[in-house]
Amino acid sequence: MKRYRRMAVLAMAVLAAAVPAAAPGQTAGTAYAAVLVQGVQGADKGGGPGMVEISRDTKAPAVVDGVIQPQNLEAAREADQMIVVVGTGGCNADTYYYAKSEDSFELVWKEASVVGRGGITSDKGEGDGKTPSGTYGFTMAFGLKEDPGSMLPYHKVVKGDYWVDDPSSSYYNQLVNTSVTSRSWNSAENLAAASPYYNYALALDYNSDRVPGKGSAIFLHCFTASADNGSAGCIRLPESRAKELVQTATEKTRIVIAADITQLK
């Protein structure tokens, strides 16, 4: 019995030594709870005091006092730039553009933007008029205007370019051109007829597996006015901002979309 009491005291001592200092705004109890004793090994093997394994929960909050902490977002682990889209109600959102500077991310600009007319959702479906939440990369850039100097592969839109949004088509969620592809779909976006929205655009890698009905043609592109009533699921920005992002986005750039600031992670 005494041996088990000694082991318990030892475990508590090791645990106390492992507890990090409380961060600003964090209570000592919260800091203490961040350290988990996973187990005491060897207690019944006669080999002396058991081994106490300590695991630290080092995840820092993505938002502190209503301010985004970009370096604490999961996307920051590998991203060179981050575009953070936060819903502010209805089809309205704020878009933040962060560029990496050594080991931190600096806010380059914040811009009012527009998302799906149905808002932002974690359960996107084809035709629901909602923007999918989550973290995504970009597969390509495209536009009705000439390549402004894109870091990603850029496609200049031409007559016959369509993005298929028919879940029953084998070309679902793909860019095709009718000069080389027969029309085997019931619905598709005519990119050449979408001026000025597609003057500059970035294609998100949302539903890259092309699961039928999960949603398609999710882009970041231009809008015509701040009084926009909402998209079919895309993110819309002033043309100058969309053009800038087309010029700077790389294969490591990530876009993070959340229904509100509390949903960021």
Do 106 and 237 lie in one domain? The reply is yes
Give residue 225's pLDDT.
73
* Same domain, residue pair 69 and 51: no
* Active site annotation includes 155: no
The predicted pLDDT at position 102 comes to 85
Same domain, 51 and 172: no
Indicate if 152 and 217 belong to the same structural domain.
yes
Same domain? For 181 and 230 the reply is: yes
116: helix, strand or coil: strand
The CA–CA distances, whole Å, from 23 to 45, 60, 133, 179 equal 39, 10, 30, 61
Res 9: pLDDT: 41
Q: Is the pLDDT of residue 43 over 50?
A: no
Catalytic residue (choose from 91, 155, 221, 222) = 221
pTM, 2 dp = 0.78
Q: What is the CATH number of the domain that holds 108?
A: 2.40.440.10
Q: Mean pLDDT, to the nearest integer, of 126-141?
A: 99
Same structural domain, 229 and 126: yes
Summarize pLDDT for 93-125 with one digit per residue, the tens. Answer: 999 999 999 889 999 999 999 999 999 999 999
Do 215 and 239 lie in a common domain? yes
Q: Considering 91, 155, 222, 234, which one is annotated as catalytic?
A: 234
Q: Cα dist. 192→60, 159, 176, 189 in Å?
A: 45, 6, 12, 9
CA-nearest of 107, 115, 151, 145 to 132 is 115
Whether 26 shows a pLDDT value over 90: the answer reads no
More confident residue, 200 or 35: 200
234 flagged as catalytic: yes
Listed residues 38, 56, 74: the one ending a domain = 56
- Give the model's confidence band at 47: pLDDT under 50 very low, under 70 low, under 90 confident, else very high: very low
Please, what is the average pLDDT of the chain?
A: 85
- 88, 215: one domain: yes
Question: Looking at residue 55, what is its pLDDT?
Answer: 37
pLDDT given at position 189: 98
For residue 38, what are the domain limits? Answer: 2-56
136 pLDDT band, cuts 50/70/90, is: very high
Nearest residue to 18 via CA among 43, 42, 36: 36
Q: Across residues 219-226, what is the average pLDDT?
A: 87
> What is the share, in percent, of the chain residues with pLDDT greater than 70?
77
C-alpha to C-alpha distance for 50 and 46, rounded to whole angstroms? 9
Percent of the chain with pLDDT over 90: 74
Report pLDDT digits (tens) over 162-211.
999 999 999 999 999 999 999 999 999 999 999 999 999 999 999 999 99
- Looking at the structure, tell me whether residues 232 and 169 fall in a common domain: yes
Clarify whether residues 76 and 31 are in a common domain: no
Cα–Cα distance between 198 and 166 in angstroms, integer?
20
Q: Indicate if 47 and 68 belong to the same structural domain.
A: no
Residue 54 has pLDDT above 70, yes or no: no
Count how many domains the chain has: 2
Model confidence over 137-148: pLDDT tens digits?
999 999 999 999
Q: Do residue 16 and residue 108 come from a single domain?
A: no
Which domain-ending residue is among 10, 38, 56?
A: 56
pLDDT at 45 over 50: no
Q: Tell me, what's the pLDDT at 58?
A: 60
